Amino acid sequence: MEQKNIWNKYDEETLDKVNVLSEEYRRFLDNGKTERECIDETVEAIERAGYISLQQAMEEGRSLSVGDKVYYVHMNKSIAMFQIGTKPLPEGMNILGAHIDSPRVDVKQNPLYEDKEFAYLDTHYYGGIKKYQWVAMPLAIHGVVVKKDMTTVIVNIGEDEDDPVFFISDILIHLAQEQMKKTAGQVINGEAMDLIVGSRPLKIEAKKDGEEGKDTEKEKNTPERDAVKKGILEILKRQYDIEEEDFLSAELEIVPAGKAREAGFDRSMILGYGQDDRVCAFTSLKAMLDLGITEKTVCCLLVDKEEIGSVGATGMSSLFFENAVAELLELCGGYSALDLRRCLQRSCMLSSDVSAAFDPLYASCFEPKNAAFFGHGIVLNKFTGRAGKSGSNDANAEYVAHLRGIFEKEDVSFQTAELGKVDVGGGGTIAYVLAKYGMNVIDSGVPVLSMHAPWEATSKIDIYEAYRGYIAFASDADLY
Ligand code: MN
Ligand code: MN
The SS3 of residue 123 is strand
pLDDT by residue (tens digit) across 172-187? Answer: 999 999 999 999 999 9
**What pLDDT is stored for residue 323 in this prediction?**
98
User: At a CB cut-off of 8 Å and minimum separation 6, what does 431 contact?
Assistant: 349, 351, 353, 384, 392, 393, 395, 441, 442, 443
Please report which ligand is nearest the Cα atom of 351: 1
* pLDDT on residue 11: 97
Distances (CA, A) of 51 to 90, 231, 331: 22, 46, 15
The DSSP secondary-structure symbol of 127 reads S
Q: Which residues hold their Cβ within 5 A of ligand 1, which is an ion? A: 276-277, 353
CA of 452 to the centre of ligand 2 (A): 6
Quote the pLDDT of residue 369: 94
Laid out side by side, the sheet with 250-256 consists of: 152-157, 139-146, 250-256, 104-115, 118-126, 195-198
Question: Checking phi first, is residue 304 left (phi over 0); if not, alpha (psi -120 to 50) or beta?
Answer: beta
177 Cα–ligand 1 center, Å: 36
Distance from Cα 102 to the centre of ligand 2, integer Å:
7
* 3-class SS shares of the chain: helix, strand, coil, % to 5: 35, 25, 40
210 C-alpha vs ligand 1 centroid, how far in Å?
Answer: 65
Task: Lowest mean pLDDT of 36-40, 352-356, 420-424, name the range.
Answer: 420-424
pLDDT of the residue at 222: 61
Q: Which ligand ends up closest to the CA of 99?
A: 1
CA–CA gap between residue 312 and residue 203 (Å, rounded): 44
Q: Which ligand is nearest to the CA of 277?
A: 1
Neighbouring C-alpha atoms within 13 Å toward the C-beta of 156? 13
Alpha-carbon gap, residue 392 to 432, rounded angstroms: 7
**CA angle in degrees (0–180, nearest 5) for 385-391-392:** 60
d(CA 240, CA 229): 16
pLDDT in tens, 90-148: 999 999 999 999 999 999 999 999 999 999 999 999 999 999 999 999 999 999 999 99
The residues near 251 (Cβ < 8 Å, ≥ 6 apart) are 36, 106, 143, 144
* CA of residue 311 to ligand 1 center, whole Å: 14
Residue 9 Cα to ligand 2 middle (Å): 30
Between residues 384 and 303, the one the model is more confident about = 303
Instruction: Compute, in angstroms, the gap from residue 315 CA to the centroid of ligand 2.
Output: 14
The predicted pLDDT at position 421 comes to: 87
Alpha helices, DSSP H, located in 304-387: 320-331, 337-345
CA of 14 to the centre of ligand 1 (A): 28
Whether 294 has a pLDDT exceeding 70, the answer reads yes
pLDDT digits (tens, 9 = 90+) for 140-173: 999 999 999 999 999 999 999 999 999 999 999 9
Distance between Cα 34 and ligand 2 center (Å): 14
| C-alpha distance from residue 273 to each of 82, 138, 261, 454 (Å) | 28, 12, 10, 6
Give tens-digit pLDDT for 248-281. 999 999 999 999 999 999 999 999 999 999 999 9
Q: What is the pLDDT of residues 358-409, one digit of tens each?
A: 999 999 999 999 999 999 999 999 888 888 888 888 899 999 999 999 999 9
Mean per-residue pLDDT of the chain: 95
Q: Ligand 2 centre and the CA of 329: distance in Å? A: 32
Q: List, in order, residues 6 or more apart from 191 with CB less than 8 Å away.
A: 122
Ligand nearest to the CA of 103: 2
Q: How many CA atoms lie within 13 A of 310 on its CB side?
A: 21
Which of 310, 275, 288, 328 has the alpha carbon at shortest distance from 475? 288
Ligand nearest to the CA of 102: 2
Task: Evaluate if residue 221 carries a pLDDT over 60.
Answer: no
Ligand with smallest separation from the Cα of 354: 1
How confident is the model over 309-331, as a mean pLDDT?
A: 97
Predicted confidence at residue 406, as pLDDT, reads: 96
The pLDDT, as a whole number, for residue 200 is: 97
For residues 324-341, average pLDDT: 97
Torsion of CA 417, 423, 425, 431, to 10 degrees: 50
Average pLDDT over residues 23-47: 98
Residue 354 has pLDDT above 70, yes or no: yes
Could you count the other beta carbons within 10 Å of the beta carbon of residue 151?
A: 10
Cα dihedral sign for 284, 287, 291, 294?
negative
3-state secondary structure of 98: strand
Helix (H, G, I), strand (E, B) or coil at 251: strand
Residue 3 — very low, low, confident or very high, per pLDDT cuts 50/70/90?
confident
For residue 352, the ligand closest to its alpha carbon is 1
